[in-house]
Amino acid sequence: MRVDYKKMKIVSKDIMGIYDRGEPDECPPKYLLQCKNLMQESNTLTPRPGFKSIGANSKTQVTQISIFEPIPIAGVVSPKDIIHTNPGPAFIFNNTDFPGAAIWTGLSHYHSWINFFGRGYFTLHNTIVGHPTEKLQVYEGGASSRNALGAKPISVMAGVGAVGGNLGVGSYLVDVVYVTSTGYITKPSGTPINVTTFGSYKINLTVIPTGPAGTVARKIIMSKVIPNLTYTGNPNDYEFFFAPSGFINDNVTTVFALSEFDGNLIASADYLFDQLESVDSGVGIGEYNSRMIVWGESANPSILRVSKPGDPESISATSGFIIVDPTESGGVTNICVIRNNMYIFKSNRIFVTTDNGDDPTTWPVTIFDAGIGTECFGISRVFDSKGTHLSQFLIAGRSGLYIFDGLIRFPELTYVVQNIWDDIDPASFSLTRVALDPINKNIYVLITRTNGDKHILAGDYTMGMSSDKICWSIWESASGGLIGAINAIAIYFDPDGHVWTLLGMLGLTATFDTDAPENLDDSGSFLQIPFTCTLQSPVIDIDEQSDVKQITKIGVRARNASVGDITSQGVSAADSTKVSPVYTIPFVNSPNKAQDKWNYLPFVDNQPTVVLSILSTNRPRISRITIDGDTYGESNPQ
């Protein structure tokens, strides 16, 4: 029997995170078979930050988190947390300003949000299509949201000609429109009055309609003079213009004297007759060339509604839309914009179009990729808007997480954790969420496993954003902890440039801070109930010629470790039920001091590995693991 005594060293700064692709014995030496609730910090492996409750305003059963950016006050933007909960009826809260009262109540479990000109617009959906009865909402920072856009006037005003004005000889068609608090101008009533004038006249308007809640003003629109005896009887035969003096700056006044020279009627109001009065909720909302885009509505999932540039609520019913391959069963799920091209996603397709300066119905749409797509939360997001990183996006497709910069970049970033990606529950893939922290160079992918567990696949791309340089780890909430499953994630920067990551949980709304991690448990308390981290080495390869190996002892160098913080166990990579006893590595209480500690770990197996269990109590920082072992040729030790 030949016995060789050798060592295997694992240096933390060299570790590349999880390798979970193929069989366990295919894991390269610089990777780990397990890396749970750990992160790299200053060339050490250390427990991830604890998930900290946001405080007294924490909400339960959170399904979605967004960030509202209101109009700056004195040049300062104060972001607001928008929290979607689902305890039965669903609620959306401005959790910063109005934590006790919902700004929206309904039955939809999820929303998508975008900020436009200091206002928030959001759609309600089930992650597949928009809610069939909900409308696009606008939120301006008050106690409640309302339906975006607005209904046209339904009552008819009256008017008579009178001397003392600038109107010509003939007749005029006159109508009224509402102006909402967001600047949206509604459709006209469609029943204009026809008033005859005799030169140097004005029209005295009465019983001018007042609008519903959200109306702040009204505008008078009118035709140019129609010569006597030529009116066709059809108001659609005539162009309408905004009357320059016809602005009624309130929602109370019901009388107005209209007097305009025809030469002043320049700005056409004809487009208003095609305005939508509301937009059905879609599965997503975004921005392209200063246009608001809404897509994936229940009745028309392959349609994108497209607003006029700079006027997010002005959407034409006749020309303000794009239709994307309606022959497919699936609808539009997402968009992103790169170099003036808008890429349109379905679950397994990518299309592309370009704003040609004309109506959206004229924009050409072509297939870009017929094999990769994504879902409504599957594109990297920062500030809860699509987040570019050097003109790149991260796309969560069914086969992996890809860099997309106008091309799908291979290999996928999740190449080394393909087994984990393949274990995402297909029925829950639309719940997959991608968040990018470009300051701390972290990627967070919220996934639902086939067994129902919800994990964060956390990637550190400090060394580079490629499949061979990202260090992946699995983060999960504490087993039995107060927060339960992780349902939502959002990243934003506060006015001081500090990065915050918000988590929506079953039991609370939490945050964690990678800039300055605290010794917290997952209840937000200072380690009253610590969570457990797990590290599993690759298969111990003492001698490639030997089939049977014996681990004899293990050494760990760590800072901040104390009594009972780290235990070790031998585990077979081929049969996880084959294990050694658990041995506690004998650290002593010595804050901020590095210690090298050893203990015996006798374990024999064809594919032996070492599993370290690490309590988060003191956030120990592991910098080196040394494994001693023997080889026995081709037979077990006698």
Is pLDDT above 50 for 385? no
The answer to whether the beta carbons of residues 436 and 382 sit under 8 Å apart is yes
Q: How far apart are CA 527 and CA 505, in angstroms?
A: 19
Residue 513 has a pLDDT of: 72
Q: Mean pLDDT, the chain, as a whole number?
A: 90
Nearest CA among 519, 590, 601 for reference residue 559: 590
Residue 526 pLDDT > 60, yes or no? no
Highest mean pLDDT among 72-86, 90-104, 533-547: 90-104
Per the listing, tokens 């005859």 go with: 196
Going by the DSSP 8-state scheme, the letter that residue 63 receives in this structure is E
Alpha carbon distance 46, 473 (integer Å): 12
pLDDT at 212 over 50: yes
Residue 340 carries which DSSP code?
T
3-state SS string for 376-422 = CCCECEECCEECCCCCCEEEEECCEEEEECCCEECCCCCHHHHHHHH
Is 581's pLDDT higher than 70?
A: yes
Token couple for 636: 């077990």
pLDDT (mean) for 191-220: 97
pLDDT of residue 383: 38
**What SS3 string covers 165-196?**
EEEEEEEEEEEEEEEECCCCECCCCCCCEEEE
pLDDT in tens, 140-183: 999 999 999 999 999 999 999 999 999 999 999 999 999 999 99
Categorize the per-residue pLDDT at 208 as very low, low, confident or very high, splitting at 50, 70 and 90.
very high
Q: Is the pLDDT of residue 218 over 60?
A: yes
From 158-172, 190-204, 516-530, 620-634, the region with the lowest mean pLDDT: 516-530
pLDDT score recorded for residue 633 = 47
Task: Write the pLDDT tens digit of every residue in 3-41.
Answer: 333 566 667 778 899 999 999 989 998 999 999 999 988
pLDDT at 429: 98
Task: Give residue-wise pLDDT tens across range 540-555.
Answer: 876 555 555 788 899 9
Q: In percent, how much of the chain has pLDDT > 70?
A: 90
pLDDT of residue 432 exceeding 90: yes
At 246-277, the pLDDT tens digits run: 999 999 999 999 999 999 999 999 999 999 99
Q: Examine the pLDDT at 100 and tell me if it is beyond 60.
A: yes
Structural domain boundaries of the chain?
4-49+531-631, 59-140+278-476, 158-274
**What is the CATH code of the structural domain delimited by 4-49+531-631?**
2.60.120.260
First to last CA, the chain: 9
CATH of 59-140+278-476, one of 3.90.380, 2.130.10, 3.40.50, 3.30.70: 2.130.10
Burial annotation 296-319 (CB, 10 A radius, 16+ → b, else e): bbbebbbbbbbbbeebbbbbbeee
Q: Which phi and psi angles does 262 have, rounded to 5°? A: -55, -35
Span 492-508, pLDDT tens digits:
777 676 777 888 876 66
Q: What is the pLDDT of residue 523?
A: 61
Indicate the pairing of strand 4-11 with strand 621-631.
antiparallel
| pLDDT value at residue 637 | 40
273-299 pLDDT, tens digit per residue, is 999 999 999 999 999 999 999 999 999
pLDDT beyond 70 at 315: yes
- Whether the pLDDT of residue 636 is over 60: the answer is no
Its pTM stands at 0.92
